[in-house]
Chains A and B, each alone.
Chain A
């Protein structure tokens, strides 16, 4: 152990960096897992808005205004 610490090589630094990056990636993956999706304010989904508007214009989708919403207050 002492020898390893005393003889610190660039390869070791790369290994440490690779392990750290892997842990960060795992953390990001777990953070986006379905288990967290049920939380308040978790929604907001990008859709193909051009396709959406085209089908809205064709009357295949509706522009009926929803109930139960409010504008988000700016901080």
Chain B
């Protein structure tokens, strides 16, 4: 018997013996199997800054995992060997059921677990069970996603998540259809849901030359973030590098990222960053009130942290939004 997956907006109709569009949710005998549950294909220890999360436990280590599969098909995917394959196609599969995963994270001195690299939406059940155990063990749960998920499953998952960096790939439905194989509206809904449910939220926008670097679109996106998510929502503009099926475009020029950052700040966002550019001043956090350097960064490394222990500017005492301790 065919089944209908309700997890993401595709709502795939999956005949017996076939998978959803994500490749890893498989119909066996009329029951849908989460085939990569407890079977990650990538495990790394990363700094929190790599996610990127700049306002959530800065400088801490995060145990990062991913399984095969993804429910988007971005032409510029940087993890395509992982995301555009099913579990049966993977060379490397680790066995790490939720209790083992928690143990691994603790053994390696990590404060958090990040569900990341591909899109953790497709291994939802693994994220949920691991996150519950992680909470009990005093670990934080970080969800790095493109946000292409239905509202009800996301609301339930938010109960066990602490932070998310969500990609907003462009403020343009056509871009989503042509470059990512998705649509924009569900992503905007997911961003609002994270905010409503109290999950600490940062947003990343990968700026691709000629495709989504139009300043008027960036202005509209920044205004939407300001109005719907709040002016204190950190926004990361990330530099594109040619890869996978998009090798025909050059890396994003630094000036384009500078202009995007200025546009977003002019629209009223207070914490706008530039990523994938080593040593850029936009890597660091400044007080929006008096301009004091609060957290200096070079790449993923913190060079100085001047925040007070309770997350305030040391000069003007302004509280800086984030989860600092």
Bound Cα distance from A49 to B29, whole angstroms: 12
Within 8 Å of chain A (Cβ to Cβ): is B298? no
Whether B10 and A40, one on each chain, are in contact in the complex, defined by CB atoms closer than 8 angstroms, is yes
Within 8 Å of chain B (Cβ to Cβ): is A38? yes
Whether B9 and A55, one on each chain, are in contact in the complex, defined by CB atoms closer than 8 angstroms, is no
Whether A41 and B19, one on each chain, are in contact in the complex, defined by CB atoms closer than 8 angstroms, is no
Q: With A68-B124, A68-B153 known to touch, is A38 a contact of B17 (CB < 8 Å)? A: no
Interface mask (A12-51 → B, CB under 8 Å = 1, otherwise 0):
0000000000000000000001111111111111111101
Bound Cα distance from A34 to B174, whole angstroms: 11
Bound Cα distance from A35 to B3, whole angstroms: 24
Whether B10 and A62, one on each chain, are in contact in the complex, defined by CB atoms closer than 8 angstroms, is no
Whether A66 and B32, one on each chain, are in contact in the complex, defined by CB atoms closer than 8 angstroms, is yes
Whether A41 and B13, one on each chain, are in contact in the complex, defined by CB atoms closer than 8 angstroms, is yes
How many B residues, CB 8 Å from partner? 58
Bound Cα distance from A38 to B178, whole angstroms: 10
- Residues of chain A contacted by B181 (CB below 8 angstroms): 34-35, 37-38
Bound Cα distance from A60 to B176, whole angstroms: 33
Whether B176 and A38, one on each chain, are in contact in the complex, defined by CB atoms closer than 8 angstroms, is yes
Residue of A34, A41, A63, A69 near B73 (CB, 8 A) is: A34
- Residues of chain A contacted by B95 (CB below 8 angstroms): 59-60
- What is the distance, in angstroms, from A34's C-beta to the closest C-beta of chain B? 4
Residue of A33, A52, A59, A72 near B88 (CB, 8 A) is: A52
Residue of B nearest to A62 (CB): B37
Whether B36 and A69, one on each chain, are in contact in the complex, defined by CB atoms closer than 8 angstroms, is no
- Residues of chain B contacted by A38 (CB below 8 angstroms): 9-10, 176-177, 180-183
- Residues of chain A contacted by B6 (CB below 8 angstroms): 68-70
Whether B26 and A44, one on each chain, are in contact in the complex, defined by CB atoms closer than 8 angstroms, is no
Residue of A36, A51, A54, A68 near B177 (CB, 8 A) is: A36
- What is the distance, in angstroms, from A30's C-beta to the closest C-beta of chain B? 12
Whether B18 and A46, one on each chain, are in contact in the complex, defined by CB atoms closer than 8 angstroms, is yes
- What is the distance, in angstroms, from A52's C-beta to the closest C-beta of chain B? 4
Assign chain A's interface to a size class: 35 or more
Bound Cα distance from A62 to B10, whole angstroms: 23
Within 8 Å of chain A (Cβ to Cβ): is B278? no
Within 8 Å of chain A (Cβ to Cβ): is B30? yes
Whether B37 and A37, one on each chain, are in contact in the complex, defined by CB atoms closer than 8 angstroms, is no
Whether A69 and B15, one on each chain, are in contact in the complex, defined by CB atoms closer than 8 angstroms, is no
- Residues of chain B contacted by A41 (CB below 8 angstroms): 4, 10-13
Whether A62 and B36, one on each chain, are in contact in the complex, defined by CB atoms closer than 8 angstroms, is yes
- What is the distance, in angstroms, from B230's C-beta to the closest C-beta of chain A? 27
Whether B21 and A67, one on each chain, are in contact in the complex, defined by CB atoms closer than 8 angstroms, is no
Within 8 Å of chain A (Cβ to Cβ): is B52? no
Bound Cα distance from A44 to B5, whole angstroms: 10
- Residues of chain B contacted by A44 (CB below 8 angstroms): 12-15, 18-21
Whether B3 and A70, one on each chain, are in contact in the complex, defined by CB atoms closer than 8 angstroms, is yes
Bound Cα distance from A64 to B67, whole angstroms: 14
Bound Cα distance from A71 to B14, whole angstroms: 9
Q: With A66-B5, A69-B5, A71-B2 known to touch, is A43 a contact of B13 (CB < 8 Å)? A: yes
Bound Cα distance from A15 to B38, whole angstroms: 58
- Residues of chain B contacted by A65 (CB below 8 angstroms): 31-34
Bound Cα distance from A38 to B9, whole angstroms: 7
* Seed contacts A46-B19, A64-B38; 10 additional CB < 8 Å A-B pairs: A34-B73, A34-B180, A43-B20, A45-B21, A47-B86, A51-B88, A60-B95, A62-B34, A64-B33, A68-B124
